[in-house]
Amino acid sequence: AAALRRLNSAVQYVPYRGALRPRSALRLVRQYDIVADCSDNVPTRYLVSDACVLAGKPLVSGSALRLEGQLVVYNYRGGPCYRCLFPRPPPPDAVTNCADGGVLGVVTGVIGCMQALEVLKIASGMGSSFNRYMLMFDALEGRFRNIKLRPKKADCAVCGDSPSVTCLQDYEAFCGSSATDKCRAVQLLPSGDRISVQRYKELLDGRVPHVLLDVRPQVEVDICRLEHAVHIPLRKLEEKDEESLQHLQKRICEEKQRTDDQTSVPVYVVCKLGNDSQKAVKILQELPAKEFGSVLAKDIKGGLMAWATKIDSTFPQY
């Protein structure tokens, strides 16, 4: 609000301190003619869209991730709402926000300017065509595309002919994730399949035989890594890449020689935040024992960022 006042002091800016909640969203939305959604999490997107439908307000929605952006105008002139396009939220572990995946600031600037343009067009009576089309922006290719949207759904839960959603609900419970744009922490494994960075440091200092598997993308490994880690990107594990799995099996066998083949060698999996490492552990646990042998895998909670904050303050954070 302070930055906007410096640009134009003639406009009234009313900041609301705190996260948008179901108990207050409808009251706030009803005070305005147009709403712009600039949030970066799924629960807030459902909350804002439902509030706009119940209040009868158009919603100019923008999103950006990495080098791509999208723009849609929901609930406008008979067009669809957010739930028409996405009736159910995606699994929490399948969602990537900007804190997790990163975003180029210029992309958010482009999409933000496009949102502002559509708000002005709607407010002035010119109207917007993005209630029928989704704007897709590819910054890498420098390309804009318009994708035709499905029409408003007659059976939509909130804007349909017989809506089942007539009041705002618990959207964090509905989506299975928190309404925050901060780095997410998902829980995909039981506690017995996870260890803390402090416990891993004890194993490392005690020279306990094991294999450390880093499943981050190569670009992140190039930023920082633990030197003794074996690097296999999660994508390679998901594809069951034979060369990668054989490389891992070879490292396990080499480490097992240190134990005189008396015990199995555990594989501790690490990533940036401890989310992808859980996915990797589930993949390793499901590998056929006849082909790859029995793999005892656990993930390191909090990943390398927890290592940087709790174990080694000199380790780079990114």
CATH assignment of the domain containing 147: 3.40.50.720
- Single out the catalytic residue among 84, 98, 156, 159: 98
Domain count, the chain: 2
Provide the pLDDT for residue 92.
Answer: 76
Q: Judge if 62 and 142 occupy the same domain.
A: yes
- Reply yes or no on whether the pLDDT at 176 is more than 90: no
**Domain hosting residue 49, numbered range:** 1-175
Return the bridge partners of 73, or none.
60
Q: Which two tokens stand for residue 229?
A: 């880690």
Contact 122, 128 (CB under 8 A): yes
For residue 211 the two structure tokens come to 């294999």
C-alpha angle 212-296-284 in degrees, rounded to nearest 5 = 80
> Tens digits of per-residue pLDDT, 240-286?
999 999 999 999 988 888 776 666 889 999 999 998 999 999 999 99
Structure tokens at 150: 């499905």
Cα–Cα distance for residue pair 296/9, rounded to 1 Å: 63
Buried b (16+ CB within 10 A) or exposed e, 244-253: bbeebbebbe
Question: Is residue 213 assigned to a domain?
Answer: yes
Residues 134 and 91 in one domain: yes
Encode pLDDT of 41-93 as tens digits: 999 999 999 999 999 999 999 999 999 999 999 999 999 999 999 999 988 76
Which CATH number fits the domain that encloses residue 204?
3.40.250.10
Residue 165 to residue 248: CA distance in whole angstroms: 50
pLDDT at residue 184 is higher than 80: no
Give this prediction's pTM.
0.70
Task: Give dist(CA 245, CA 293) in Å, integer.
Answer: 11
Residue 175 falls in the annotated catalytic set: no
- Told to judge if 271 belongs to the known catalytic residues of this protein, a careful annotator would answer yes
